[in-house]
Amino acid sequence: MINPTKQRNLASATAHPVGNRTPLLRGADHRARMQSLIRTAGMLPVLLVLCIGFGFLTDGFFTLQNLSIVTQQASINIVLAAGMTFVILTGGIDLSVGSVLAAAAVAALLASTIPGWGWLGVPFALIVGLVFGAINGGLISFLRLPPFIVTLGAMTAVRGVARLIGNDTTVFNPQLPFAFIGNGTILGVPWLVVIACAVIAISWFILRRTVLGMRIYSVGGNPEAARLSGINVRAIQMFVYAASGLLAGLGAVMSAARLYAANGLQLGQSYELDAIAAVILGGTSFVGGVGSIVGTLIGALIIAVLTNGLVLLGVSDIWQYIIKGLVIIGAVALDRYRQRDSART
């Protein structure tokens, strides 16, 4: 026979089983939040060190003119990297964004030469980017082809399309009706920076405050579990690649507006590498399911500051490519280390 006191204690423990586990759950939740914070802001000290270092090593790094140049140069990569973040969060990759940007920019400039309809260049660029992104998404989600192979092939094919529609020459329009986007300001802030900030804000809202964002993380974390829970994995994959293409189209508008020109062969070369580097430096895992858009912003600023600082130091283009390549390798190695560390904890 059970002692009444013990019986009451047993009943209390059974009725409130969470009480004994709450500290553990709270501790696990706290560790998860700390890991997320470290992933998001972990590269912020690196950005600060780079800024301080280049400030000491060069004469004009901290001038308002140069800081404006840095932010404007970062803007297009921020937009591309935002789209890349969506893709990599699902465990995919998009190597075609540079080529898509080139094709969309050429299309925008050609459309802008239509008398009285120059503004058509903006929707043309967005549509071109969206279409190519949707094609990538369709091949990956419905035909189940590897993202790396699909987007690698698209990188080459779309580059050919860009050269074809531009007749393999530089398309130029000195009377570009939307040139203010690339060279104008609003309340003293360059339009390029305003657009990049808007993209980051919208992306953050989607990923952190919507069901769609939750599903993107779920698909990246475990596609099969997401499918079994009722998430339409194919639709999510279609969305992220279409979003990446659309943002590449927006980047094309920004680039065309800044340069008044586009060359299908040269424009956008290695842009995809800068975008991937920004995403991985920002803490998004290559295997998907973990990361943040704020981290991507920090990563893109690191790339921009590094590039600008090397230019001010007189480092040649050759060495800049070598250094950027090492940064990408280092970012991937850091991601692998984070994965092993997370597995241990």
CA dihedral 282, 286, 288, 293 (to 10 degrees): 20
pTM across the whole model: 0.87
Q: Which two tokens stand for residue 200?
A: 């980051």
Chain centroid to CA 278: 7
32 C-beta neighbours (distance < 10 Å), count: 12
According to DSSP, the β-strands at 185-186 and 189-190 are antiparallel
- HSE of 294 in the Cβ direction (CA atoms, 13 Å)? 11
**Nearest CA-CA partner of 240 in 103, 90, 77:** 90
- Domains of the chain, by residue range, sit at 43-337
164/202 Cα distance (integer angstroms): 34
Q: Which two tokens stand for residue 172?
A: 């130029």
Q: What is the CATH architecture of 43-337?
A: Orthogonal Bundle (1.10)
- Asked if 335 contacts 286 with a C-beta cutoff of 8 angstroms, the reply is yes
Q: Which two tokens stand for residue 159?
A: 């580059």
pLDDT value at residue 40: 66
The DSSP element (H or E) to which 58 belongs, if any, is none
Residue type at position 172:
F
Q: Please name every residue paired with 185 in a beta bridge, in sequence order, or none if there are none.
A: 190
Query: What tens-digit pLDDT sequence spans the chain (345 residues)?
Result: 445 444 444 344 434 444 444 554 455 445 555 666 666 667 888 899 999 999 999 988 999 999 999 999 999 999 999 999 999 999 999 999 999 999 999 999 999 998 888 899 999 999 999 999 999 999 999 999 999 999 999 999 999 999 999 999 999 999 999 999 999 999 999 999 999 999 999 999 999 999 999 999 999 999 999 999 999 999 999 999 999 999 999 999 999 999 999 999 999 998 999 999 999 999 898 889 999 999 999 999 999 999 999 999 999 989 988 988 888 788 778 777 766 766 665
38/49 Cα distance (integer angstroms): 17
Q: Which two tokens stand for residue 182?
A: 């690339």
The DSSP element (H or E) to which 170 belongs, if any, is strand 170-172
Cα separations in angstroms, 117 against 65, 109, 317: 34, 12, 39
82 C-beta neighbours (distance < 10 Å), count: 29
Q: Is 288 helix (H, G, I), strand (E, B) or coil?
A: coil
Q: Which two tokens stand for residue 151?
A: 């987007």
Q: Please name every residue paired with 262 in a beta bridge, in sequence order, or none if there are none.
A: 171
Q: Which two tokens stand for residue 146?
A: 């590897």
pLDDT value at residue 26: 53
34: left (phi over 0), alpha (psi -120 to 50) or beta: alpha
72 C-beta neighbours (distance < 10 Å), count: 19
Cα separations in angstroms, 119 against 7, 75, 161, 163, 184: 79, 22, 22, 22, 16
226/237 Cα distance (integer angstroms): 12
Phi, psi values for residue 2, rounded to 5°:
-80, 135
